[in-house]
Structure 1
Amino acid sequence: MIDPLTLLLYAAALFVASVAQRVVGLGFGLVMGPVSAIVAGPIAAVPLNCIFGIVACGLMIPGVWRDIDWRRMAWLLAPAIPASIAGLLIARMVPTDALRIAIGIIAILGVLVSVVFHRSRHTLDGPTTRIATGVAIGGFNAAVGVGAPLVGMYSLVSRWEPRVMAATMQPFWVGLNVTTLVERQLLVPDGFPEWPWWAWLGASAATAIGTLFAHRIAHRVSATAARTTIIVLSIVGGAVVIVTGIVGLLAG
């Protein structure tokens, strides 16, 4: 269950997460991951984030339709789906907190290396890079709920134009979140949050309002500002995962 005050705070977080997701193409999971874990617990947090991620990104697709790179999305999503199954299975076998720390460190180091690579004026893209990125996003997202830093890494090394990336990642996250929900129902069926109807309605409304607001301001954000935001969110996401893992180990 959830009380009205907690729902209000959760709705505010959904609003912020939806704005970040629309403007730069990532950030929803980074904002909502810790919040959902606090509100509903670590097990229920994953389906919660998937559900509202589908709502947010699904509402954004009509507004960004013309900028979506469907071909590149397919290259990323096709390997991400089977990798997400592997991620769920690994998460069941390996201590989750230790896995979080390892993945967080890898994510931060990867983003930093990508920043250096980006400054070298070289470009790293193509089928191999896209498949490897999709595998990493799908596996990491299913295992510990963090995929955004991998998106940030790929956007930097491939020099993906931020506006196109922000558009393309909306249908990508819808596809991956739907897949994750189905996989969890089959492999890890426990932990679905038991909320009253008014809580689902209120949270969905906050997501929709955040999406509408983000549509109005997205065009005002420059490519440089968007790229800087992507780097910051990716590093922060890795750090949050590390801290969460350390806290979990100490508490255990």
Structure 2
Amino acid sequence: MIDPTTLLLYAAALFVATVAQRVIGLGFGLVMGPVSVLVAGPIAAVPLNLIFAIIGCGLMLPGVWRDVDWRRLAWLLLPAVPMSVVGLLVARMVPTDALRIAVGLVAIAGVLVSVAFTRTAHTLDGPGTRIATGLAIGGLNAAVGVGAPLVGAYALVSRWDPRVLAATMQPFWVILNAVTLLERQLLVPDGFPAWPWWAWLGAAAAAGLGTLLAHRIADRVPAAVARWTIIVLSLAGGAAVLLGGVLGLVASA
């Protein structure tokens, strides 16, 4: 269950996360991951994030349709979908806190290496890079609900145009999260949040309001600002996952 005050705080975070998701193409899981854990607990947080990411990104999709890079979407999505099954199975076998620590370290290292790479004149965006990125995103998103730092790292090394990135990641997250949610109900059916109907409606309304605002400001954000926002949010997301794992281990010791 959830009380009205907690729902209001959750809806406010969801509003901010939706704006970030539309403007730079990532940020939903990074913002909502820690918030969902606080509101619903670590088990219910993953399906909760999947559900509202589907709603938020789905509402954004009509407004960004013409800017979607469908070829690159396919390169990332096709390996991500089967890898999500592997991520769910790994999450069942590996202690959650240990998995979070590993994911947090990999995410932070990946972003830092990507930032260093962008100081060179090289671009890394071949088929191998896209497939590896898709595999990593699919596995981590299913296992701990955080795949966005890998999106940020790929966007940096590939020099992906922020506007096209923001558009392409909306159908990507809709499809991947819908598939992952279905797989989760089949493989890991426990942990679905028991919210009343008014809580679901209120949170969905916050996502809708965030979408309306984000569509108005998305084209006004300079590319350099979008790039640095991607870096900061990706590092913050990795740090949050790492800290959550460390605190979990300490609490269980």
Structure-1 residue corresponding to 2:189: 189
Structure-1 residue corresponding to 2:15: 15
Write the distance in 1 (CA, Å) between the matches of 2:57 and 2:100. 25
Write the distance in 2 (CA, Å) between the matches of 1:108 and 1:33. 16
Structure-2 residue corresponding to 1:41: 41
Structure-2 residue corresponding to 1:65: 65
Structure-1 residue corresponding to 2:147: 147
Structure-1 residue corresponding to 2:229: 229
Q: CA deviation at 1:8?
A: 0.5
Q: CA deviation at 1:186?
A: 0.4
Structure-1 residue corresponding to 2:242: 242
Instruction: Confirm whether residue 174 of structure 1 aligns to residue 180 of structure 2.
Output: no
Write the distance in 1 (CA, Å) between the matches of 2:246 and 2:100. 8
AA partner of residue 71 (structure 1): R
Q: CA deviation at 1:65?
A: 0.8
Q: How does 1:98-137 map to 2 (within 5 A)?
A: 98-137=98-137
Write the distance in 2 (CA, Å) between the matches of 1:241 and 1:194. 24
Write the distance in 2 (CA, Å) between the matches of 1:110 and 1:4. 39
The CA deviation string for residues 215-249 of structure 1, in whole angstroms up to 9 with x for no partner, is: 11111100000000000001011000000000000
Write the distance in 1 (CA, Å) between the matches of 2:145 and 2:3. 25
Structure-2 residue corresponding to 1:95: 95
Q: CA deviation at 1:103?
A: 1.2
Structure-2 residue corresponding to 1:163: 163
Q: CA deviation at 1:126?
A: 1.6
- In structure 1, list runs of 5 or more residues that go unmatched: none
- In structure 2, list runs of 5 or more residues that go unmatched: none
Write the distance in 1 (CA, Å) between the matches of 2:3 and 2:83. 36
Write the distance in 2 (CA, Å) between the matches of 1:106 and 1:183. 25
Write the distance in 1 (CA, Å) between the matches of 2:51 and 2:160. 27
Write the distance in 2 (CA, Å) between the matches of 1:205 and 1:135. 32
Q: CA deviation at 1:93?
A: 0.8
Structure-2 residue corresponding to 1:82: 82
Write the distance in 2 (CA, Å) between the matches of 1:97 and 1:25. 27
AA partner of residue 123 (structure 2): T
Q: CA deviation at 1:192?
A: 0.8
TM-score by length of structure 2 reads 0.98
The CA deviation string for residues 8-54 of structure 1, in whole angstroms up to 9 with x for no partner, is: 11100100000000000000001111111111111111111111100
Divergent runs of 4+, >3 A: none
**Number of aligned residues:** 252
The CA deviation string for residues 84-137 of structure 1, in whole angstroms up to 9 with x for no partner, is: 110111111111111111111111111111111111020011211100000000
Write the distance in 1 (CA, Å) between the matches of 2:104 and 2:37. 17
Write the distance in 2 (CA, Å) between the matches of 1:34 and 1:200. 19
AA partner of residue 145 (structure 1): G
Q: CA deviation at 1:168?
A: 0.2
AA partner of residue 204 (structure 1): A
Q: Secondary structure at the match of 2:37?
A: helix
The CA deviation string for residues 125-169 of structure 1, in whole angstroms up to 9 with x for no partner, is: 121110000000001111111101100110011110000000000
Q: CA deviation at 1:194?
A: 1.2
Structure-1 residue corresponding to 2:204: 204
Instruction: Confirm whether residue 6 of structure 1 aligns to residue 3 of structure 2.
Output: no
Q: Secondary structure at the match of 1:119?
A: coil
